[in-house]
Chains A and B, each alone.
Chain A
Amino acid sequence: MIRFENVTKSYGKNVILRNLNFTINPGEFVVLIGPSGCGKTTTLKTINRLIEPDGGKIFIDEKDITKENPVELRRTIGYVIQQIGLFPNMTVEENIAIVPKLLKYPKEKWQGVVKELLELVGMPYEQNAHKYPSELSGGQQQRIGVLRALAASPPIVLMDEPFGALDPITRDTLQDEVRRIQKKLKKTIVFVTHDMDEALKMADVIVFMDSGKILQMASPEEMLRNPADPLIAEFMGKHMSNANMIFTAADFMKTRVTKVSRTTLTLQSIELMRNREVNSLLVINDDDTYFGSVSIEKLRSQGKPGKEIGDMVSDEAPVVNVKDDARETFDKLMTSPTGYVVVLNDDATVAGLITKTSMTKAMGEALWGEMSS
């Protein structure tokens, strides 16, 4: 179990970690994710003391890690980095055997470990053990990188964007392999990434960080269902159903609407509607604020030459603010007796109009990108 207690870190005035508190349970696959500079890698590196926090404490199995020798601590924690970091002057076997040798395993024992591990990722010992890293493909190199971290059977493995530099197909295979190995060997893995696909695929628990704080710590399902912050929702992007996306009324409205002053006369108004080919008009006060709407039917039944349009407006068209949630707007549109919803700015002026057509068009764009025409 890894427990962070009020961990802080800053470089000069730059605050990297702000009072981190969280617990990682044994056997969990925990993914730290967030925009670059959010402190996820720093958090990872405090666990094996490559970075020392300024304040707070980190416990591994209830032991304060600052009380332990950093060199010995690191030998009990696996570490995989993005640039792979295999030592080019050593063979595959020598690379994998580094920590076992540091821990003074006898030769038969570390050789057995190397054989076993190579088998685990389907790289036969005879063909691979004596190659140098430069003779392997990127994917094979990172497999060895992972094996090297596992060689001394550490209960905890830290992985810092381990697959970030690999091509998508290799990345996918390695993700599956690591997940399989983690399940099989029951490791606690702390994994840093900025790729939400990867996080959702690998994690038991996702820790979402921003500006050195944890915005949310939850299972992938929970985070998808209830992102605690708009930034998280944005990171989830395409994984969220459209209903969960943060759309506002502004995203669905058309802004080319026909507005008339309330003093406009009946015949003028009918003429205008004919010209613009619209069925209703939005009537505004002298200070541009919204007054009401009039439909063509109403004008025909109630209007007479010389009568001002302001006397015939109705307020039956639903009104929403530009910042209102699109979902509410959608509900109002569906039940609207006029077939449209009026969108107002904060100062009560008309921002636009949402009709079934504008709604459909905007949804299409959200789903399939910008539409032609």
Chain B
Amino acid sequence: MIFNYITEHVVIVLIAILVSILIGIVLGVIAYWVRLAEKLILWIVEILQTIPSLALLAMLMIVFGLGNVTLIVGLVLYALMPIVRNTHTGLTNVEPFIKDAARGMGMTKLQRLVKVELPLSFPLIFSGIKIALVNSLSVAVMGVLIGAGGLGFPIYRGIQTQSMQLILTGAIPVVLMALIFDFFMSKIERRLLKRA
């Protein structure tokens, strides 16, 4: 039974993170390319992050109704900040002489981005993804309140029945998964940073 909750929890989080990576990198690139959009994009993702997760999910529920989709949308919005910010910072911080060399070689803006700037920013983008993922694992627990599945369910049940055992059955896997993801992704992160 608990394994079903775990699987559902992980699947929801991974889908949300994948979508978030796609949107986040695109927004990060736009913030880097378009000076007019830079402040606005960074400001919006920052604001999103400050909304309490419960309030955000409740508002989304009004639009998207009950269920996993609403939770995924909420998680995506929540995960955007570290990914967008790190993408933007990574691209901005590529050494000016590297950019100069790329331009001087006759690379187009898109070629410079794809072949040089994004690969060189990847370690930082990866750190952003790690933070987003570990965060989302715990935020996803809130999903139970808007009718989504995952490990929020046994926890919520435990609260209602005042069963510590049930609460821990839900909470411990969340903590363990967060620790495991953090451990392995930090290892990869260090290797990436060392190569760069």
Contacts and interface: CB of A to CB of B under 8 A. Distances in A.
Q: How large is the interface on B (under 10, 10 to 19, 20 to 34, 35 or more residues)?
A: 10 to 19
Contacts of B115: 87, 90
Interface string A69-85: 00111111001011101
Contact of A75 (B101, B105, B116, B196): B105
Contacts of A87: 98, 101-102, 115-116, 120
Nearest to A151: B105
Given A82-B97, A87-B98, A87-B120, 9 more contacts: A48-B104, A50-B103, A74-B106, A75-B105, A81-B97, A85-B102, A98-B105, A102-B107, A102-B111
Interface string A206-223: 000000000000000000
A102 B106 contact: yes
Interface string A49-60: 010000000000
Interface of A: 48, 50, 71-76, 79, 81-83, 85-90, 98-99, 102, 148, 158
24 contacts: A48-B104, A50-B104, A71-B107, A71-B108, A74-B103, A74-B105, A75-B105, A76-B106, A79-B101, A81-B97, A81-B100, A85-B100, A85-B101, A87-B98, A87-B101, A87-B115, A88-B98, A88-B196, A89-B119, A98-B105, A98-B107, A102-B106, A102-B107, A158-B104
B68 to A, nearest CB: 38
B44 to A, nearest CB: 30
A89 B120 contact: yes
Given A88-B196, A89-B119, A99 B105 contact: yes
A90 to B, nearest CB: 8
A237 B130 CA distance: 59
Contacts of B103: 50, 74
Interface in B76-114: 95, 97-98, 100-108, 111
A89 B111 CA distance: 14
Give me the 4 closest cross-chain CB pairs, A-B, nearest first. Answer: A85-B101, A74-B106, A75-B106, A79-B104
Contact of B97 (A48, A71, A85, A99): A85
Given A85-B100, A88-B120, A102-B111, A79 B95 contact: no
Contact of A81 (B101, B116, B119, B120): B101
B120 A72 contact: no
A86 B116 CA distance: 10
B106 A72 contact: yes
A102 B112 CA distance: 11
Nearest to B99: A85
Given A50-B100, A83-B97, A87-B98, A73 B196 contact: no
A217 B47 CA distance: 60
| Among A48, A73, A85, residue most surrounded by chain B Cβ atoms (within 10 Å) | A85
